Structure 1
């Protein structure tokens, strides 16, 4: 959410509480309960054309599902077109454009908004013209088309000046300034922020005033006018603290940290950067966590504290990648308006519909009364007809309820499929991370061999690197084929596996990682053992146990892989001389409860996913797992898998 959209939400709430009608697409308030109630009325009752227009408009206004919103907006469009009602044509086209934006079709949305603008212009509906221009500005802004966004925001400001609507005018002026700021045209941005701030100050809207003060401070910081920047942002922060709006405070504090860093005041810079990070973590603001982490990494690097600099740099990269991966979703999600809405305004809408329905029913009752006076037979016929209508209504409601149950079941099924998909992504990311870290160990070995001029060692290392590369390539191919072959369920393809060969293959993958920490990696395979299991998941079990053993074993330690059998079960045992596992962690070793993050003896970070995968895959292959550990003395994991059946 950008700063301007955060302020837009404040304005929407204020207008809803006052009972104003919000026609700007960025301020739409939705209520699914109202939409469902109105859909039931529309589908089951006979309504006049005028009442149908209003019911359809409010269905589209309150509906949160963009596809359903589009369906009823299309009905509104067709009815308004047949009646040549340009007001409702404008409203229908606005809803269609908004639905297409939510569905990720900005080109179609723009077409509908242009048509909406045309309809509003034909009847000189200034509020509608302003709303259409604002919607076009929002859509172009989401596509980072600053030129067109500024163009239509400016047109919206002209309409709001005509309407003498100060708060909406100030909001759109803020949007124009934000677009200029994003385009690095700071002088132009400053002009619009200043005018917007003057309006907010005049109408005593403190939150708006704070946003403008802070935004102007950001521009002063870009222009290296640090004294003015500090004054503006400190003043903005004081106002925002009073109103409990912490999101922009984090933005301004990160900027202040940068200012103090440039002035050489590292102590104050660190204080503001830590405060910005704390707010981001409390509010779940990924962008602010990312920016504050980057600033903290730079500050600690300047101080020479490279451990903290590295930790915050890692946190920055993690959040940066997370934000980039979600960017497409966020662009569409940003188009969605905030669903928080005043129930008072919603109740007014419902009551108005009920009044209209009661008035129409009263007129119908009057007609029925005169009909009774004229002839009793017509009353009996009418009673029979009403009974038939009631039965049709009951059947229709039953059908709707049945369809809703089907839709709910399909939604639950889709959620299950989505959870399985997320699990696949977790598996792939976790499995790739371990082998790739081997190459870090290779880089350290190369450095040592070059310093000692051990060229024979370099040749041997080249052979090892070639082997590791092939192993990692094979791993990536397997994981890719595995993920692509699935269609919503956990994979399980049991086959005959020569377990000793699979153990050696995974030992080769981990060899460089162990060598980098000077860990002795040994195997004890007494016999060649063949089992029946899924090869990919079994390889994952071995690889994760070896990776964990190496991670939590100090330099000069020992990791041992032992392969035996016990009755009808093969036994894979991985022992290490590492730091061991505490009794508290042993209680939740194979689930996601409690604190999961841990650090290896070489500073390696773990999130606890590996052992959870091992546990799941052991159960998938009809086996069991046992663990023995003592803090400071090491850990032993034993995995039991069924030997090949004699049938």
Structure 2
């Protein structure tokens, strides 16, 4: 494009517009292209470039209607008209008008490769495949993805292959065809290890961590999670080094500026000596003003330091309390397990089968409680350090509830609790899948824990709002007092205590639930009455909030 527009270098407004376009200064590009379009003697080619620059500028400012209007003004004989079609396809894709996007992309796909002026046909085919994937026309999507893979493999284009393998894996994963999806995730991961691209390594390792977690292969999942943390640290260090270099440059500039200021002050002093007491009075006044300013800044800085210290003290107190409560509960669980194992050995020698059965159930409950405590602690730590993977997407709520409840069937049967999933299979919500599962696990675990034998647990939804869908976990168990209910809903980092002395719990799970519900842009409330059961109500978004990716 640089050489194609060289003929217009003597036109001032267009030359400035091109310079700002190349440096991604979209507002300035719009200003100078508007000035250029006012001129009467513009050629058709010059108008095309102006409308093209304006369309891309509006697109990058996310003003899509204006972007389309400008791109439609570009004539078909324009040198980069194929790029216009690609841009219109991208806008349609972003607006989820996938059939319209396919129309634009297929126009480009039908053109001979040597006419595409730098555009990769494999990328266009992959875009078409992505459109069909969103339209749930999986067979057609697969055809385009496979064609793209064949070309990438032939050209040994590793970066493109990694992206296409990821799309194919997502294509199968959306159909719950894990066995077909996982090999592509593994291929993408293996290729990423061979290139010097830490971002790709992070993405593929994160995908493998999710896959191994879903397969309940937690040891491998932890290994992949450690890789994710490592690559995040590398990327953070890179950003940090860039920031340090920028800061050093700023300090050098400031130092030079200080030298200039010192020379200016010296000149002012000399001038004051020459011109008498008037100039000296001005300098003294400036010095006094500077002292007052820096004094105020110091007071302001001290206030910030004091506030930060208070926050740090609060976090340290919370950490100490967390360690104290968790270690106490773990110690209690281990002690209970030790005592139960002693009784188990005695009853094993006596061949008391009924007692052995009771003790095994007891051991199972103790281990399950300790495991849930450690699992919540891990997720809480990841959440606090912002290391957890999080992506909000559309999903069927029924199947998430069904998957989560399946793991609790043994506990429900053991306690003779009747469970029913009444969530409609058509109910769609927007949330991060893994954090939603953690929320459901903790709330369902609490419902079981605080229910009596032969009680009932029901999960259902209410759709009384255009924005939120209310997911309700209702049990007919012990319930809670109004004081406890308000304490659990309190927006605080402190851990809540359970009022039932026979049920041990740190309250960490409830804090984790509230944090993750908030991260999912949702709301949480509790309805309960002591002795009459509890309703845990999680309000989940039906659509992505404005401004979300």
TM exceeds 0.5? Answer: no
The structure where helix makes up a greater share of residues is 1
TM-score by length of 1: 0.38
TM-score, L = length of structure 2: 0.43
